[in-house]
Amino acid sequence: MNDPIGLTIIAKFVLALFLIAGGILALIFGKDLYLQGVGLKHDGSIINVKKVKASLKTVGSVVMGTSVAWGFLAYLESPVLKKSNTGSISIASGGSSIVQLSAAKVHSSEPASETDARGSTPADQNALKEAFAQALQVDGSQKAVIRVNDAVATIDPKSIYVTSGPDDSALVIGKASSPKGEVDFTFKPALEGGKLAFEPKSVGLTGKGPSR
């Protein structure tokens, strides 16, 4: 894999696993020290959280106490995935964004019917593919429909195909590339005002690096 975004997500995930493992080991090792009574003399260590004070009298209790810090650091490093109802996603870690993927609805200018939107036959599916390609164009250029971290992704017309979804509705699927990486996308056609509208359903990283 040569995708810097994908590598960053994997690195954050692996680091979070190591921190979780460190917290578990601190609990196990600290418990053993505590049961053995190592450092039974009062060492003056105190945990003060709001109105709760805890005096730490053994080395084991101190070591077990560090597991909280391990767990908190693991929480900060864990990648968090958020998905909107338009299929756009964002992945963040420690309050900082790693990647944001977004897609916008597009409309065809040609009149259409419910039959066209369903894409039941090969001919209808081919018509949907052409309608989607036409909906992407404005003044001879491709619209900024998909973005990767605010970088516009170019949709590859050759990658577009139409298939049936779980409810037998048509889905338009394809790939797009940007300087920040490549993505897969899925749009669902529907009839709006006598014309086809393509609603984004999902967009995700392919695992490939930025386009050259």
Q: Measuring CA to CA, which residue among 64, 89, 77 is closest to residue 8?
A: 77
Place of tokens 């004070």: 53
pLDDT at 49: 47
- Rounded Cα distance between 16 and 13, Å, is 5
- Rounded Cα distance between 153 and 83, Å, is 19
pLDDT at 132: 92
In sign, the C-alpha dihedral spanning 82, 199, 187, 153 is negative
Q: E-strand spans in the chain?
A: 45-49, 52-56, 80-83, 89-93, 96-103, 106-111, 137-138, 141-142, 146-148, 151-155, 161-164, 170-178, 181-192, 195-205
pLDDT at 52: 45
pLDDT in tens, 153-181: 999 989 999 998 777 789 999 999 988 77
What does the block give as tokens for 136?
């992407």
Give backbone dihedrals phi and psi of 66, rounded to 5 degrees, phi first: -70, -15
pLDDT in tens, 103-154: 888 988 888 888 888 888 888 888 899 999 999 988 788 888 888 887 889 9
pLDDT in tens, 71-113: 888 877 787 767 666 556 676 766 666 678 888 889 888 888 8
- Whole-prediction pTM: 0.61
What does the block give as tokens for 191?
């009839």
